[in-house]
Amino acid sequence: MTIRKLPTINAFKIDGVEFDAPSDALDRWNAAVRSVSAAGGAGNIEMYDIIGEDPWTGGGITAASVAESLRSASDVTVSINSPGGDFFEGIAIYNLLRAHPHKVTVNVVGLAASAASVIAMAGDEIRVARAGFIMIHNAWSIAIGNRHDFMSVSKTLEKFDSQMAELYAARAEIDPSVAAQFMDDETWLSGESAIDQGFADSFLAADDVVTDPDADDGGTRAAIRSVDIAMAKQGTPRSKRRSVLNKIRGTQDAAPPAMPCAGDLAAVLADLKQTISTR
């Protein structure tokens, strides 16, 4: 069992509600940041993607994959650089790490935002890069339905937020009302601030954090997710969003060499997101 006395979070899926990485976290996420010392090997769990299954690549960090990694591990090191994602997957992963019978060390090598910040709190020891960030906020979702549905969703999300505030408060040893205010304000904690505020214990060594250019795709995946969220905010159904974005990707993938590269496509998608957001 974890060294620290941390609460279990109870959460259940809500019909008609989608959870995803917040758009501002996607905008600030450098997907190429990696840890050197905890690269691969037994006892090392790498979370360098969105939380939950990625509909674009089939990847993503899931509770099932983490459970498999924990099955034969003793002490574990979890390296995180993630903009967050599915709230329920994040809670499930947090509970798995919390219940692990050996020491859990969390390295925030880049960004631990939203659901990824919840996962980070499961560490018996949390280390953060000086240039890293931990972002905490209220549960961020996209809901579809009538006013009664929205009232029900609001009440349920309020319960989730309360549980997260209790978790952040227990980890940082602050009053839950203070943690709740951090969440209301969508608080971005730099490495130094995370330590000062009690959300992390120490800094990572500077030479433990590197940028792997082969791990990035010119920002295209992050841009696609960001556009997806922007369309969702406009009320576009998920099936329609997937159709539109798959056509954009299909055109790019099938294009001759003279067509835009991944980095150019990311820029085009960023422009598209801005156009959608200002309508």
List pLDDT tens digits, range 188-224.
999 999 999 999 999 999 888 998 877 655 667 667 7
Positive or negative: CA dihedral 202, 106, 85, 276: positive
Q: Which CATH superfamily is domain 17-214 in?
A: 2-enoyl-CoA Hydratase; Chain A, domain 1 (3.90.226.10)
pLDDT at 121: 96
- Residue 258 has what pLDDT? 42
Does the pTM surpass 0.85? The reply is no
Cα torsion at 159, 164, 166, 167 (round to 10°)? 150
Please state the φ and ψ torsions of residue 13, each to the nearest 5 degrees. -65, 150
- Phi/psi for 112 (5° steps) reads -125, 90
> What pLDDT, on a 0 to 100 scale, did the predictor assign at position 259?
43
Domains of the chain, residue spans: 17-214, 217-277
Within the chain, which residues score under 70 in pLDDT? 1-4, 11-18, 38-41, 55-58, 215-219, 221-222, 232-233, 235, 237-239, 249-279
Residue-wise DSSP of the chain: --SS----------TTEEE---HHHHHH--TTEEESTTSSSTTEEEE-S-BS--TTTS--B-HHHHHHHHHT-SSEEEEEEE--B-HHHHHHHHHHHHH-SS-EEEEEEEEEETHHHHHHTT-SEEEE-TT-EEEE-S--EEE-S-HHHHHHHHHHHHHHHHHHHHHHHHHHT--HHHHHHHHHTTEEEEHHHHHHTTS-SEEPPGGGEEE-GGG--TTHHHHHHHHHHHHHHTT--HHHHHHHHHHHHHHHHTS-TTS--HHHHHHHHHHHHHHHHT-
pLDDT of residue 8: 81
Calculate the alpha carbon distances from 108 to 80, 176, 243 in Å. Answer: 5, 23, 35
